[in-house]
Amino acid sequence: MKPELRRVRPSSLGMAKHCARAPWLSAKYNESHVATRLGSAVDGQVTALIRGDDIEEDIFPETELVIAWLGENFPSTEWEYHAQTPVELLDPETGEVLTKGTPDLLCVHRTEPRISVIDYKKRGQFFSGHLPPPEENLQQLAYLAAAWLKLSKERTIRQGDITLCCWDDRGITAPKSDPINEEGLWGIINTIRAIPPMDVSVQPEASIGEHCDHCWGRMHCDAHLLPLAVAAKAGLPEPFAEFAGQELTTDLVVKALTWLDGADRVLREAKKIRDMIEDNVDAFVKQNGPVTVGDLCYGPVEVKGRRGGATVKTLEEMGLTNLIREGKISIKCKYYKAPG
């Protein structure tokens, strides 16, 4: 079969550095859920207001917050707005399209040789650690490089930066990258050059690692959610009937030890599968919130660690509570009674 090569889209560039399968899964399973749909709705309203388009539905409070933040930090008297304008990153030497996509907002300064790419994101993504910081956000850096090269044909650009406008109904958090110069621009281009095009007709090999925790394609990756058949491959026979009610002989002990080795192997494989599935479920609820199972919910809950110190009860009785070390609070996913 002839390879069907396609360049990795900007949103998958970051994961593509770690795993060749991640962008392939992203292209195959282009999904949305309630959280992404709300984000898209807010983005759409912000874009419409910037362009002066009519909006028939009620304006979201989050939309108003973003618009107010833009006016304060990127006033239109100083910046040209290019909302939802598609860009292509062309290799400056070969003209090849390295990637292409659409940034939320490109701001071009009216008098200074600098540009800024702004990406709207839900604030929870930033605080949960599932959003790369601006200087490591390869998607937005690709947009910056693409816009920089295109605008350089018309005007001088010497500096750019990335701002993540992270919103919720309570306010805006807006981390910003340090200024990026022409040397930094070439660093971005070379990084993206090194990511090869993918053959969309063939599933690539997967790479397992910490990056899996932040991969949106994880729910569909058979390298992470191993099929139960893996455990069966351990090949454990039925327990020996001759063990029951008999004194063990040397031969039976040898057979029993062989059986125990097989049982241990099956249990290890089963635990791997169980832990992987639990990790995957926990990653999902941490990103998307709790799920309801009957009368219970399963989701992230603060778990207070054990207090430390020599005999906590004795120290309390002696009034020496200052010597008790409070346990650290951690987040653990577990069942709890559903509200209401």
The model's pLDDT over 5-56, given as tens digits with 9 standing for 90+, comes to: 888 899 889 888 888 888 888 888 765 544 445 568 889 999 999 999 988 8
Identify which has the larger pLDDT, 148 or 331: 148
66-83: per-residue pLDDT in tens?
999 999 999 999 999 999
CA distance 141 to 123: 20
Q: What is the pLDDT of residues 165-207, one digit of tens each?
A: 999 888 999 999 999 999 999 999 999 999 988 888 888 888 8
The model's confidence at residue 87, banded by pLDDT at 50, 70 and 90, is very high
Q: Is the pTM of this model over 0.85?
A: no
Specify the pLDDT at position 227: 39
pLDDT exceeds 60 at position 336 = yes
The per-residue pLDDT for 229 is 41
Q: pLDDT tens across 288-320, in order? A: 888 888 888 898 887 766 555 556 677 677 776
Please give the single-letter amino acid code of residue 1.
M
Sorted by sequence, the CB contacts under 8 Å of residue 138 that are 6+ apart come out as 10, 13, 14, 17, 132, 188, 191, 192
Q: Say yes or no to pLDDT of 85 above 90.
A: yes
Q: What's residue 307's pLDDT?
A: 53
The reported pLDDT for the residue numbered 138 is 94
**pLDDT of amino acid 261:** 77
Q: Is 202 left (phi over 0), alpha (psi -120 to 50) or beta?
A: beta
| CA distance to 66, 81, 298, per residue, from 180 (Å) | 24, 20, 43
| pLDDT tens digit sequence for 210-252 | 777 777 777 677 765 543 344 344 444 445 444 544 556 777 7
The DSSP secondary-structure symbol of 240 reads P
Sheet holding 291-293, edge to edge: 291-293, 296-304, 329-337
Residues 126 and 2: their CA atoms lie apart, in Å, by 41
pLDDT of the residue at 325: 66
- Nearest CA to 17 out of 130, 143, 137 is that of 137
Q: Has residue 129 got a pLDDT over 80? A: no
- Tokens 């491959």 sit at which residue? 233
Query: Quick one: DSSP state of residue 7?
Result: P
Res 254 pLDDT > 50: yes
Mean pLDDT of the chain: 82
Comparing 127-131, 152-156, 227-231, 270-274, the range with the smallest average pLDDT is 227-231
Q: What does the pLDDT read at residue 245?
A: 47
DSSP state of 207: -
pLDDT of residue 335: 61
User: Above 70 in pLDDT, residue 283?
Assistant: yes
Q: What is the pLDDT of residue 228?
A: 37
What pLDDT, on a 0 to 100 scale, did the predictor assign at position 184? 95
